Amino acid sequence: MQMNRKVLQTLKNGIFFMALSSLLSLCGCSKGPSSQQAGPPPTPEVAFVTVETQKIELTTELPGRTAPFRIAEIRPQISGLILRRMFTEGSDVDAGQMLYQTDPAPFEAALDNAKAALSRSEANLNASRLRAERYKDLLADKAVSQQNYDDAVATLTQVEADIQYWKAAVKAAQINLGYTGITSPISGRIGKSNVTDGAIITAYQPMALATIQQLNPIYVDVPQSTTDLLHLKRRLKDGRLKKNGTDQNKVNLILEDGTPYPIEGTLQFTDITVDPTTGSVILRVVFPNPENLILPGMFVQAVIREGENDQAILVPQQGVSRDPKGNPIAMIVDAEGKVGVRMLTLDRAIKDKWLVSAGLAPGDKVIVEGVQKVRPGAVVKAVPFVETQTDLKPPSAGPNAPPQKPNKGGV
What integer pLDDT is reported at residue 18 of this predicted model? 58
What CATH number does residue 298 fall under? 2.40.30.170
In a domain, 246, yes or no: yes
Cβ(333)–Cβ(325) under 8 Å?
A: no
In a domain, 35, yes or no: no
In a domain, 19, yes or no: no
In a domain, 360, yes or no: yes
* pLDDT tens-digit readout, 257-306: 999 999 999 888 888 888 888 888 898 999 999 998 999 999 999 998 88
In a domain, 391, yes or no: no
3-state DSSP assignment of residue 338: strand
In a domain, 14, yes or no: no
Q: How confident is the model at residue 38 (pLDDT cuts 50, 70, 90)?
A: low
203 lies in which domain range? 76-103+180-207
- The answer, yes or no, to whether residue 25 has pLDDT greater than 70, is no
Q: What is the mean pLDDT of residues 29-53?
A: 70
State whether 113 and 188 are in the same domain: no
CA atoms within 13 Å, Cβ hemisphere of 81: 6
Calpha distance 398→90 (Å, rounded): 72
In a domain, 220, yes or no: yes
State whether 203 and 97 are in the same domain: yes
* pLDDT tens-digit readout, 146-199: 888 788 889 888 989 999 999 999 999 999 999 999 999 999 999 999 999 999
Q: What is the mean pLDDT of residues 14-38?
A: 50
- The answer, yes or no, to whether residue 405 has pLDDT greater than 50, is no
What integer pLDDT is reported at residue 397 of this predicted model? 39
State whether 291 and 226 are in the same domain: yes
The burial class, CB within 10 Å (0-12 / 13-18 / 19+), for 8 is exposed
State whether 264 and 300 are in the same domain: yes
Cα–Cα distances in angstroms (integers) from residue 306 to residues 216, 228, 247, 255, 303, in the given order = 26, 11, 10, 21, 9
State whether 202 and 243 are in the same domain: no
**How many CB atoms are closer than 10 A to CB 410?**
5
State whether 138 and 223 are in the same domain: no
| Full-model pTM | 0.66
Cβ(121)–Cβ(142) under 8 Å?
A: no
State whether 219 and 276 are in the same domain: yes
State whether 133 and 235 are in the same domain: no
**What percentage of the chain carries pLDDT values higher than 70?**
82
Chain-centroid distance of CA 365 in Å reads 37
State whether 380 and 318 are in the same domain: yes
What CATH number does residue 174 fall under? 1.10.287.470
State whether 112 and 188 are in the same domain: no
The secondary structure of 76-129 as a DSSP string is -SS-EEEEEE-S-TT-EE-TT-EEEEE--HHHHHHHHHHHHHHHHHHHHHHHHH
Interior angle at CA 254, CA 251 and CA 257, nearest 5: 170
- The answer, yes or no, to whether residue 238 has pLDDT greater than 80, is no
In a domain, 199, yes or no: yes
Q: 161, 178, 195 — which closes off a domain?
A: 178
Calpha distance 372→334 (Å, rounded): 18
Q: Single out the residue of 116, 113, 106 nearest to residue 177, CA to CA.
A: 106
State whether 378 and 320 are in the same domain: yes
Calpha distance 377→340 (Å, rounded): 6
State whether 155 and 121 are in the same domain: yes
Calpha distance 367→51 (Å, rounded): 11
User: How many separate domains does the chain show?
Assistant: 4
Q: Single out the residue of 347, 305, 286, 314 nearest to residue 62, CA to CA.
A: 305
